[in-house]
Amino acid sequence: MFKAIFTNSFGILFSRILGFVRDLLTASILGANLYSDIFFIAFKLPNLFRRIFAEGAFTQVFLPAFTRSRHKAVFSVHIFALFTAFLTLLTLLVNLFPQIAAKAIALGFDAQTVEMAAPFVAINFHYLLLIFAVTFLSTFLQYRHHFATTAFATSLLNLALIGALLLSKERAPIEIVAYLSYGVVLGGVLQLVVHLLAVSRLGLAPLLVGGVKYFGRKAAAVRDESRRFSRQFFPAVWGNSTAQISAFLDTWLASFLAAGSISYLYYANRVFQLPLALFAIATSIALFPKVARYLKFDNETAALGMLTKAFWFLAFLLMASTLGGYILSYEITWLLFERGAFSAADTAMTTAVLQMYMIGLLPFGLSKLLALWLYAQQRQMEAAKIATWTLGSNVLFSLALILPMGAPGLALASTLSGFLGFVLTARAFGRERFLAIMARKYLLAWCAGAALLTALLLLVKELLHGYL
């Protein structure tokens, strides 16, 4: 288990380091202004779907269904064809009516800004079809317990965007946005290529070829399996997408605030997403196949034992990340972003947003882990109901906090809804199971570690105060 976790974590860390280099260059070259807002808006919708697909929803439904299927090749091709047809149609509509898509993402933009953003929304949307194909192929790799390719592949997107920034740094801001948009598409192509190579190297290509070859003859045989998959998939998407939809909602509401607010949320959320992806998502991806297998054979004791180890491993890492991210939020923001077009005022605003996000890191991360139990038991509908309550609370909190607090209020609303989601997920997981995980010795060690780390971080902050 831990080998797979570390493989995922190292790949994600490498990708996120490149991501921070990308963000550093974006902040320096483009800053936090109308043009950066336009790019982040254009990339927001395909990136939302990327996170929903790539970070759990598709795999958590497709992998168990694929494992149980009697016609794996045909079933796989059938599902791929359905999704590809839908996403191709959606991409075509966005390219035909980009102004409507841009307005839907950023309702607060005026007509002139929507007109500027529309072509970039259309370009970025092509990434969606590419990243679905990547996610589909990554599920086959996970089936063979191969995680490295997917973990490292996101770095190719970051490299493409870094290249776009370096090539365009002397150009006008609107041209930089164009370079970045085409860089997104190039990154998707590169990710798809390396996944195709990995599938071929592991000998999985004949499975896909066979599915295409026998599709016409055996399509009827997988109809019932496909229907079951569809019934489980949409609740799974909804259940997995609360954090992503909350971030999307933040962006949508921030379009009504002052210029730069969308960028503050984006930069702060990027820092917040690092430990979430590095620890919580990496752990969940590595753990899910084994937990699902144990529960399939009614070995709940082994599944709970594995989940307990992962829970406390994650709890300590997320606690350290939360305290470090909150206490040193100004120092982190200053170090990463304050240069070039990114001013001291931008640092102050991004810091305030980051602090509000970091408070919710622990509940968001642990909720993702506990939710594995629900998906392994094919309780997708229950997870979807929890997501509905969580998202509904986020809407109410956002509307209540946006006027008095601005962009930091939107981040705090997301955090508060994350706490509610954790409580509801823990209750669905089961009171007795949750109490069994919360062993006294681990809890005391966690509290002591939190107190010691807080004192150490405050000391570090005081020492750094004289230098910043």
If you compute the radius of gyration of the chain from its CA atoms, what whole number of angstroms results? Answer: 22
Task: Please write the tens of the pLDDT for every residue from 423-434.
Answer: 999 999 988 889
pLDDT for 453 equals: 94
Distance CA 57, CA 145 (A): 18
| Percent of residues, the chain, with pLDDT higher than 70 | 89
Nearest to 442 by CA among 307, 312, 309, 301: 312
Pick the range with the lowest mean pLDDT from 19-33, 158-172, 184-198, 424-438: 19-33
Poorest-pLDDT segment among 8-12, 70-74, 288-292, 317-321: 8-12
Q: Residue 51: pLDDT band by 50, 70, 90 thresholds?
A: low
Sorted by where each begins, the domain ranges of the chain are 1-14+241-463, 33-237
Is residue 2 predicted with pLDDT exceeding 60? no
pLDDT tens, position by position, 53-69: 655 567 767 777 777 77
| Predicted pLDDT at 73 | 76
Give the pLDDT of residue 57: 65
pLDDT at 293: 75
User: Model's pTM, two decimal places?
Assistant: 0.71
Residue 304 pLDDT: 87
Q: How confident is the model at residue 417 (pLDDT cuts 50, 70, 90)?
A: very high
33 pLDDT band, cuts 50/70/90, is confident
Judge whether 73 and 207 are in contact, CB under 8 Å.
yes
